[in-house]
Structure 1
Amino acid sequence: MVYAVVRAGGRQEKVEVGTIVQLDRVQAAAGETIELPAVLFVDGDNVTTDAEKLAKIKVTAEVVGNLRGPKIVIQKFKNKTGYKKRQGHRQDLTRVKITGIK
């Protein structure tokens, strides 16, 4: 079993070849190839965490498309003062498909 943990958009994602992952928006068009930095690499029983060896590992991904996440409602309320505030947010996301771990 071969997989890697990559750093993407301030988070870490466990990926294998063929998995589809949603990341924070990446400035790339659909169909383009991007490279993600590896934090951990597992090849069977061998686990690689050394920074020098991880620099040689390339995790490539193909951009499938851009989308927006679900609406998040932010509400603030203070009792007995009449203070209410309502705000919404939708995160810009990019869906990528992992094409190779070398």
Structure 2
Amino acid sequence: MYAVIKTGGKQYRVQEGDVLRVEKLDAETGKEIKFDDVLMVGEGDSIKAGADAAKASVTGVVTESGRGQKIVVFKKRRRKNYRLTQGHRQSFTSVRIEKIKE
């Protein structure tokens, strides 16, 4: 069975046992978290979407919180003596999906 959940402005297709990195959530490592914003639930030919899937929920356990690799943002305008370097590290939360409830 799989489900499509929405968190952090993105959509993820998950199954039981999957580990996924989502935008930072306010939860400590080892805590259980519940995703109520389920867009679709399905297995084989039986698929529920819309109002039927809104009743479903997905639970997971937070395995890790941290920050990703640093990316470098470099801007330059030629012949104008303009150079700008910025860096960014995105915070993430790693979640292991435990149960999908219809």
TM-score range, shorter chain: over 0.9
1:86 and 2:85 aligned = yes
2:17 is aligned to 18
1:39 and 2:32 aligned = no
Pairing 1:1-102 to 2, within 5 Å after superposition: 2-36=1-35, 37-51=37-51, 53-102=52-101
Q: Which runs of 4+ in 1 moved over 4 A?
A: none
SS in 2 for 1:28: coil
Mapped partners of 2:80, 2:54: distance in 1: 56
Matching residue's letter, 1:21: L
Post-superposition shift, 1:49?
A: 1.2
Unaligned runs of 5+ in 2: none
Mapped partners of 2:55, 2:48: distance in 1: 11
Instruction: Tell me the TM-score normalized by structure 2.
Output: 0.93
The answer on whether the counterparts of 2:39 and 2:54 sit within 8 Å (CA) in structure 1 is no
Q: CA-to-partner distance for each residue in 1:6-27, whole Å, 9 max, x for gaps?
A: 1011111110000000001000
Mapped partners of 1:79, 1:69: distance in 2: 31
SS in 1 for 2:39: strand
Instruction: Tell me the TM-score normalized by structure 1.
Output: 0.93
